[in-house]
Amino acid sequence: MKLDAKIPAGPLAEKWDQHRFNLKLVNPANKKKFEIIVVGTGLAGASAAATLAELGYHVKNFCIQDSPRRAHSIAAQGGINAAKNYANDGDSVWRLFYDTVKGGDFRAREANVYRLAQLSCNIIDHCVAQGIPFARDYGGFLDNRSFGGAQVSRTFYAKGQTGQQLLLGAYSALMRQVSIGMVKLFPRREMMDLVLVDGKARGLVVRNLITGEIETYDAHAVVLATGGYGNVFNLSTNAMSSNVTAAFRAYKKGAYFANPCFTQIHPTCIPVHGTFQSKLTLMSESLRNDGRVWVPKKPGDKRLPRDIPESERDYFLENKYPSFGNLVPRDVASRNAKEQCDKGKGVGETGLAVYLDFSDAIKRDGENVIAGKYGNLFEMYEKITGDNPYKNPMMIFPAVHYTMGGLWVDYNLMSTIPGLFVLGEANFSDHGANRLGASALMQGLADGYFVIPYTIGGYLAQTSFSKVNVSDSKEFKQGIDDVQKRINKLLSVNGNRTVSEFHRELGLILWDHCGMSRNEEGLSKALSMIRDLRHEFWENVYVPGTGNDLNQSLENAGRVADFLEFGELMINDALARKESCGGHFNTAFQTEENEAKRDDENFCHVAAWEYTGDDQKPDFHKESLSFENVELTQRSYK
């Protein structure tokens, strides 16, 4: 199939308006005849479900947690961008668009990003109307801050809990629709498969996580908003239940997976304490404004930080990047920290950490000033590590934070399966090879509140649907059968290793070879390591309990089984992209300044992968990206 992104014709700034006019509308009286399934209740899923119901569609909304309010969007801290230009500092839709395309290292679609920047303003208006308690100044107007190196103040925030407040806003809109019967809620359900009828997405097979029953649901269209796949690395800043299963099942049913190797690694996380670490905690990057990053010059130096004299410290970021110093971008900071640890210069018990030292800043500004800026972060650090960062330097290490790759979608957010739409982190569309700070919340809500309500109508109005009877349709029966077989298979291996052991091992392989820096040799090695691990999994995993009960080990086993296949897809993608860009850094392709070196002539495209069978190499499809409005540039931080 040739990929058609369906980008509307016309000037960039008019595409979305023109497209909305051209899209066919569903007659208001007919909307109630359509049913739509939404999987996921994060920012994208909850906003989509609520808004579609407001329009008059009947919505079935699924989530794996006990309540829609738990989705992992809740953990986003920093803020949400919008091109409001309230600060009068030169921001505009065009500038937000430009910054996002450039930040994505020119691997995102211009038209999608421009639309995102346009809609950013509507999001803030709507969220304020919902009662989101954004920060305000004394005059009562909304406050903005500059975030993630942006040169304008365009980030709206609610303390360090912006994601929580925005999600609770979307959740409350959703609850309102549940109360009037327009949304039917299915919590503690996990999507196990997508059901296609006549080649169109028409329903789901889900597992009821309380009773273990396999259930089926039908609809006229299916919307996936199931988040990112960062947990393929085992340790990430994602919630424990974040997984790739829903997206991967759709991939196996024919939806192409785009740019899976584009993952973002955040430099300022709290380091791993040991084998049984279950997740990593992010701290705001703003810490690098005043903290100095260093390691001992001598590998294996076990002295306490205060006993290491100035002359025996290596402030490696300041030395290597004299003009940006500790403020180099996320990926550069992360890569250099790992490089130091790989040389044996890492600190802390595990040797997987670098110091972030505030003693100079405290000497210069006083403890009160530093506490005023970072007090809550210092408290959080002390709570988790038991160490006082006013007295001893913090220890930090990079961690997987966000995945830019996802299911391929066109301008309408529809995947290569007709009737299957993908929103939020689960799709690939707007962040290119690298996401800017405060852009994830913006994208999730733009997709849910303001894009899907229009584009899904265009699909429904133009499509004829056959009648589906869930109870006796062969497609649904087949779906149940496949899911049941897979569950039985997981339970019957009865081997000797736990699911977590496999997950940890997979995570380490990917972290070492498909993490913040990659090379062909390592990737090829990882490919065979993952295959071996996957074969061992199906021969030697042990999953306790039964299928017809609440069984968290079984849930986890299914997710890890998918990660074991998905990891291979990531590596294939990384191997095929013979350039460096954004989060994908192949050591063979770098500038003299150790910057990612793009190859715009050969790789200015989206790589979309088509499933061809288990243990088969997926087929490659290319969507060429053309940049008509911005000039491709090379970044430099020296």
Separation CA 113–CA 628 (nearest Å): 13
Comparing CA positions, the residue from 3, 54, 107, 6 lying closest to residue 459 is: 6
Residue 431 interacts with another protein (CB under 8 A): yes or no: no
Q: Which stretch binds another protein (CB under 8 A): 136-144, 217-225, 319-327, 529-537?
A: 136-144
Q: How far apart are CA 467 and CA 590, in angstroms?
A: 55
Residue 398: CB minimum distance to another protein, A: 17
Binding status of residue 175 toward another protein by CB under 8 A: yes
Q: Are 448 and 273 in contact (CB under 8 A)?
A: no
Q: What minimum distance in Å lies between the beta carbon of 460 and another protein?
A: 18
- Segment near another protein (CB under 8 A); pick from 131-139, 464-472, 514-522, 566-574: 131-139
**Contacting another protein (CB under 8 A), which of 141, 363, 624, 631?**
141
Angle at 368 (CA atoms; ends 367, 372), nearest 5 degrees: 120
Task: Single out the residue of 161, 208, 376, 540 in contact with another protein (rule: CB under 8 A).
Answer: 161
Binding flag, residue 68, another protein (CB under 8 A): yes
Amino acid residing at 121: C
One residue of 31, 58, 69, 266 binding another protein per CB under 8 A: 69
233 binds another protein (CB under 8 A): no
**Minimum CB distance to another protein smaller for 51 or for 118:** 51
Whether the CA torsion 158, 393, 396, 380 is positive or negative: it is: negative
x/- string (CB under 8 A) for another protein, residues 271-310? --xx-xxxx-x-----------------------------
Segment near another protein (CB under 8 A); pick from 542-550, 577-585, 597-605, 622-630: 542-550
Q: What angle do CA 15, 16, 22 make, to 5 degrees?
A: 90
Nearest residue (CB) to another protein, 127 versus 530: 127
Verify binding: residue 137, another protein, rule CB under 8 A.
yes
User: By rule CB under 8 A, what string of x and - marks binding of each residue 463-502 to another protein?
Assistant: -----------------------------------x-x--
CA distance 546 to 526: 33
Of 84-103, binders to another protein (CB under 8 A) are 84, 86
Between 179 and 311, CB nearer to another protein = 179
Nearer to another protein, 125 or 532 (CB): 125
- Residues whose CB falls within 8 Å of the CB of residue 478, separated by 6 or more in sequence, listed in order: none
**In whole angstroms, how close is the CB of 297 to another protein at the nearest point?**
27
Tokens of 317: 């970021």
| Among the listed residues 554, 533, 534, 559, the one whose alpha carbon sits nearest the alpha carbon of residue 489 | 554
CA terminus-to-terminus distance, the chain: 44
> Binding to another protein (CB under 8 A): which residues in 581-620?
none
Cα 588 to Cα 28: distance, rounded to the nearest angstrom = 56
Shortest Å distance, C-beta 318 to another protein: 30
Within residues 1-40, the interface with another protein by CB under 8 A covers none
Member of 24, 136, 302, 489 binding another protein (CB under 8 A):
136
Does the protein bind another protein through residue 51 (CB under 8 A)? yes
Whether the CB-CB separation of 269 and 283 falls below 8 Å is answered with: yes
Instruction: Give the footprint of another protein on residues 353-372 (CB under 8 A).
Output: none
Helix (H, G, I), strand (E, B) or coil at 225: coil
Residue 210 engages another protein in binding (rule: CB under 8 A):
yes
185-204 residues in contact with another protein (CB under 8 A) are: 185, 187
Q: Which is nearer to another protein, 80 or 250 (CB)?
A: 80
Quick one: which of 142, 470, 480, 630 contacts another protein (CB under 8 A)?
Answer: 142
User: Is residue 440 a contact partner of residue 76, using CB atoms and an 8 Å limit?
Assistant: yes
Query: What minimum distance in Å lies between the beta carbon of 573 and another protein?
Result: 28
Our CB check for another protein shows the closer of 64 and 111 to be 64
DSSP class per residue in 311-350 = GGEE-HHHHH-TTTGGGS-HHHHHHHHHHHHHTT---STT
Catalytic residue numbers, as ranges: 330
78 forms part of the interface with another protein (CB under 8 A): no
Nearest to 39 by CA among 158, 148, 195: 195
Helix or strand (DSSP H, E) at 98 = helix 93-103
**Is 157 near another protein (CB under 8 A)?**
no
Verify binding: residue 375, another protein, rule CB under 8 A.
no
Contacts of residue 104, defined as CB under 8 A and 6 or more positions apart, other chains included, come to 113, 404, 430, 431, 432, 433, 434, 435, 436, 582
User: For residues 500 and 590, which CB has a smaller minimum distance to another protein in the complex?
Assistant: 500
Q: Phi/psi at 233 (nearest 5 deg)?
A: -85, 5
Provide the minimum distance between the beta carbon of 275 and another protein in the complex, in angstroms, as a whole number.
9
